[in-house]
Structure 1
Amino acid sequence: MRPKAHYPLNIKLLLLGLCLALILLFVLRSRIPFSNPTPRSFSSTISTNDHSKNEASCSSSCTKIPSSLSHALIHYSTSKITPQQTLKEISVTAEVLQKKSPCNFLVFGLGHDSLMWSSLNYGGRTVFLEEDKAWIEQIRRRFPMLESHHVIYDTKVNQASILMEEGRGPECTEVGDVRHSMCHLALKSLSPEVYQIRWDLIMVDAPTGYYEEAPGRMTAIYTAGMVARNREGGGETDVFVHDVNREVEDKFSRAFLCEHYMKKQEGRLRHFTIPSYRDNLGSSFCP
């Protein structure tokens, strides 16, 4: 989630264009209801003064860019650090957000792309889960509008093979509330909101997983899949996993999010659509 210091200028400009397009869409949608002329049969009942007041009210409130979007635009147009995902990878999630937002979006990881995800889900709830407490405080000072929670991981990348073997057992493939799971892959001490909210999208882009002693994303991927399967009210959850070029992200996403549910892979990003098992608990873990 936290990129290295510099990225090519063309990616930055493309992201800026994405922000501009979003803002333009918001402004145009705000104006649409007021672009239709007043029906002739009612025009005589509206005074000139009332019409002027309506226009003044519309111009001051209906077309104003929300502060969160203007903040994002300014930040990404002036920052030398851009999101770690490529434009094509970002576009996969952005396309789903365009259809579903405002919605509930859970992100494992807090980074320089967090303001972008929150802005693309304008009007919805975007929650970030982060392993580094000091980093959370740093981001909160810069972007107090972002909602983030601290997570403690008790695994390491060098344990991945053992956890994969355990994950194939019945205690890990039984669908239910992960807080009561006997599986060591289940994250049971997350913020209560994580278990209570019906998530529409879940992004796994953390925790750190590029060296042997790092916590790795084994538990995050597994928990994302189980939360999606345990979704109340039916429906589907879109789950995205980044860095699938690495062994852990590759194997664990295939095993616990299921290749049958994979919709697309773009670069290092995979997109899965996982249905709720609530009404059919006897369903196979992976079809």
Structure 2
Amino acid sequence: MPPQEPSSSQTNAPLLRILSPKTSLIQTTRERSSLTMNLTKRKLILLLVFILVAASLLRVLRITISTSYLPSLEHVQNAKNPSHTTKILSDKELNFLSDIILEKSPCNILVFGLEEQLYLKLPSINKGGTTIFLEDNQEKLDKMNANVEGTRFYKIKYKTSAKEAYELFKHARTHSSCSFRSGVRSLASKCKIALTGLPNEVLKTKWDVIVVDGPGGDGPESPGRMGAIYMAGVLARAGNGTNVVVHDVDRTIEKWFSWEFLSEKNLVSSKGKFWNFRIAKKKKLISLKPSV
């Protein structure tokens, strides 16, 4: 008899072995492994996003703390020991301001604030020029030597406190009486942020350098520098190209009001906590109402 042909069941045996449960288990394991890898990637991406968000929140928190009204260690030490002269400015900041003044001296300098560390030196830096200090603290004024040639001290009063900064900011933005574009015709009433009652000499002089380092502004109840920065902007635009130097720009009020009333486009240099703005002469004359 001729040899028998293999049956169909024998021919398909290898195929059945390929599709055995063991092979299916291997395929399932591979699919699970692939799914696990995909889940791991998703977890890594979510973890990375979480880390970035946490880092951003920490940065915001750090900025908030640095611009808060909490008094610095230097202020606390000075309060405990009134005879101690606090070093308000670093040596770099001191040299920065001195260089700005030396480029123009002898010139007209107006200073909001009165700190011993620097401002007693200004008359010698600006020898032959005029230096005027505006201060609200009578105790500081009593310590000054009123006989220094070319130097004068005036006591002024601030009617607003630092806690009113946001409302004053909105007021100045929405009231035409505070606008530089239309020109400030009178500072007697409508613009709440304007400092009224300033000496006639201050309003009439064309200032070459204006320094804003007062009032203290180190607490919500203390006078903030809103009006001082605003007035620096008003007086600078009535000058012939005035440098306005603002100190403590790491604080919220100083930062906001400098951007608004001195303008970012006018910022020419900075050092430490100082911003130096160069204000070009305003074409339209600004009329200011002096105190009676």
What TM-score results when the alignment is normalised by the length of structure 1? Answer: 0.65
In 2, Cα distance between the equivalents of 1:5 and 1:209?
A: 15
Q: What amino acid maps onto 1:159 in structure 2?
A: E
Deviations 1:190-243 (A, max 9, x none): 111110111000000000101000011000000000111123xxx310000000
Deviation at 1:249, TM superposition (A): 0.4
Match of 2:47 in 1: none
Match of 1:23 in 2: none
Match of 1:91 in 2: 95
Q: Is the 8 A contact 1:175 1:229 kept in 2?
A: no
Q: Is the 8 A contact 1:230 1:276 kept in 2?
A: yes
Residues 1:251 and 2:256 are matched in the alignment: yes
Match of 1:31 in 2: none
In 2, Cα distance between the equivalents of 1:215 and 1:6?
A: 21
- Which SS does the other structure have where 2:261 is aligned? helix
Deviation at 1:101, TM superposition (A): 0.1
Match of 2:105 in 1: 101
Deviations 1:67-98 (A, max 9, x none): xxxxxxxxxxxx97365111211222211212
Q: Is the 8 A contact 1:228 1:274 kept in 2?
A: yes
Residues 1:115 and 2:123 are matched in the alignment: no
Residues 1:239 and 2:247 are matched in the alignment: no
* Matched-pair identity in %: 35
Q: What amino acid maps onto 1:172 in structure 2?
A: C
Match of 2:163 in 1: 158
Match of 1:172 in 2: 178
Which consecutive residues of structure 1, in runs of 5 or more, have no partner in the other structure?
Answer: 8-78, 282-287
Deviation at 1:179, TM superposition (A): 3.3
- Which SS does the other structure have where 2:220 is aligned? coil
Q: What amino acid maps onto 2:232 in structure 1?
A: A
Q: 1:5 to 1:98 in 2, by over 3 A?
A: farther
Match of 1:272 in 2: 277
In 2, Cα distance between the equivalents of 1:92 and 1:137?
A: 28
Q: 1:230 to 1:147 in 2, by over 3 A?
A: same
Match of 1:125 in 2: 130
What TM-score results when the alignment is normalised by the length of structure 2? Answer: 0.64
Match of 1:67 in 2: none
Deviation at 1:134, TM superposition (A): 2.6
RMSD: 2.4
Which consecutive residues of structure 2, in runs of 5 or more, have no partner in the other structure?
Answer: 1-73, 287-292
Q: 1:120 to 1:85 in 2, by over 3 A?
A: same
In 1, Cα distance between the equivalents of 2:144 and 2:161?
A: 25
Report runs of 4+ in structure 1 exceeding 4 Å deviation: 3-7
2:266 to 261, 268, 273: 261
Q: Is the 8 A contact 1:171 1:181 kept in 2?
A: no
Q: What amino acid maps onto 2:115 in structure 1?
A: G
In 2, Cα distance between the equivalents of 1:139 and 1:114?
A: 10
Deviations 1:7-52 (A, max 9, x none): 9xxxxxxxxxxxxxxxxxxxxxxxxxxxxxxxxxxxxxxxxxxxxx
2:223 to 210, 215, 228: 215
Match of 2:71 in 1: none
- Which SS does the other structure have where 2:243 is aligned? strand
Match of 1:41 in 2: none
Q: 1:6 to 1:134 in 2, by over 3 A?
A: closer
Q: What amino acid maps onto 1:237 in structure 2?
A: T
Residues 1:204 and 2:231 are matched in the alignment: no
Match of 2:202 in 1: 194
Deviations 1:101-155 (A, max 9, x none): 0000000011212211221111111000000123211223xx6424100010000
Q: What amino acid maps onto 2:196 in structure 1?
A: K
What is the count of residue pairs matched by the alignment? 203
